[in-house]
A and B are shown apart, each in its own frame.
Chain A
Amino acid sequence: EVQLLESGGGLVQPGGSLRLSCAASGFTFSNYAMSWVRQAPGKGLEWVSTLSPSGSTTYSTDSAKGRFTISRDNSKSTLFLQMNSLIAEDTAIYYCARGSLVTAGRGDYWGQGALVTVSS
Chain B
Amino acid sequence: EIVLTQSPGTLSLSPGERATLSCRASQSVSSSYLGWYQQKPGQAPRLLIYGASSRATGIPDRFSGSGSGTDFTLTISRLEPEDFAVYYCQQYGSPPYAFGQGTKLEIK
Contact = CB atoms under 8 A, between A and B. Distances in A.
Interface residues on A, range: 20 to 34
Given A44-B101, A45-B37, A103-B33, A61 B92 contact: no
Interface residues of B, number: 23
B99 A47 contact: yes
Contacts of B37: 45, 107
Contacts, number: 66
Q: Is the interface of B mostly helix, strand, loop or mixed?
A: loop
A100 B35 CA distance: 12
A104 B93 CA distance: 9
Interface string B19-60: 000000000000001010101000111110010000010000
Interface stretch (A17-25, A83-91, A108-116): A108-116
A47 B45 contact: no
State the 3 A-B residue pairs at the shortest beta-carbon distance, nearest first: A105-B97, A105-B92, A59-B95
Interface of A: 35, 37, 44-47, 50, 59-62, 95, 99-100, 103-113
